[in-house]
Amino acid sequence: MRRGTVDDLRIGVLMLDTPFRRLPGDIGNARTWDFPVQFRVVKGADPARVVHGEAKGLLQPFVDAALDMVAAGVRGITTSCGFLALLQREMAAALPVPVATSSLLQAPVIEAMLPAGRRVGILTFAAEALTERHLAAVGVRTDTPIEGLPPDSLFRSVYGAKGGESDIDRLEAEVVAAARRLVDKHPEVGAILCECTNLPPHAAAIAAATGLPVFDIIGFIDWFARSLAPPAYPRG
């Protein structure tokens, strides 16, 4: 028997170093998941450093934390920030298990599913920080429509770890308004992809407001985790 491992531990989540409350549906809330998940905070990986600082100097801390979780039995790795798409190739090369750094990895598949003339649109924490480098790192078209939360929004304050109370109704109103701006500016958008891992608690409201399919990190990791432990069906 192996020592120091945990059975059936499919997914390890590399967490940013943040103080804020995580709602049910957020990647960092254990109640979000229907299967065992391990969380590991990467010290020093605060939102400003990852989002606006392009995660410079953080590759090795993320790799080290991931390897520690793999040694404990984790069979797949993800992260709590879509901006870590910048590290996808390097982390995949460094780890012995599959890694999905960002929900943005889904974009090419989503776009392939859509009717002719329709495109995926990205809803992000900070549109000004989501660059062509982030998109190209995970195979996303660099002309993909993008809309973000305003710099002065409560959402940016809370989840940027700048302070503010987590007022669920106000956060949701801001998110829905951003989603509506996205589809108003880009009527060709046929599906919305949430970059930010704090957006999934509001996915149902986004879908209701826009009438469009909404993809996020939670659905993506559910799919990922299923591949690591496919269900066995009755024969006959």
Q: Which domains does the chain have, with CATH numbers?
A: 11-102+220-228 (3.40.50.1860), 103-216 (3.40.50.1860)
Whether residue 26 contacts residue 32, with contact meaning beta carbons closer than 8 Å, is answered with: yes
Q: What is the pTM of this model?
A: 0.94
In this predicted structure, what is the pLDDT of residue 7? 66
d(CA 148, CA 226): 30
How does pLDDT run across 8-43, given as a tens digit for each residue?
Answer: 779 999 999 999 999 999 999 999 999 989 999 999
Axis-axis angle for helices 168-185, 203-210 (nearest 10): 40
How does pLDDT run across 120-171, given as a tens digit for each residue?
Answer: 999 999 999 999 999 999 999 999 999 999 999 999 999 999 988 889 999 9
Whether residue 84 contacts residue 102, with contact meaning beta carbons closer than 8 Å, is answered with: yes
Q: Of 159, 133, 144, give the one whose Cα is nearest residue 106.
A: 144
Q: Of 81, 91, 110, 56, give the one whose Cα is nearest residue 198.
A: 81
d(CA 204, CA 192): 12
d(CA 98, CA 96): 7
Whether residue 147 contacts residue 173, with contact meaning beta carbons closer than 8 Å, is answered with: no
Mean pLDDT of the chain: 95
How does pLDDT run across 76-93, given as a tens digit for each residue?
Answer: 999 999 999 999 999 999
How does pLDDT run across 178-196, given as a tens digit for each residue?
Answer: 999 999 999 999 999 999 9
Using CA of residue 101, residue 102, residue 104, residue 105, what is the dihedral sign?
positive
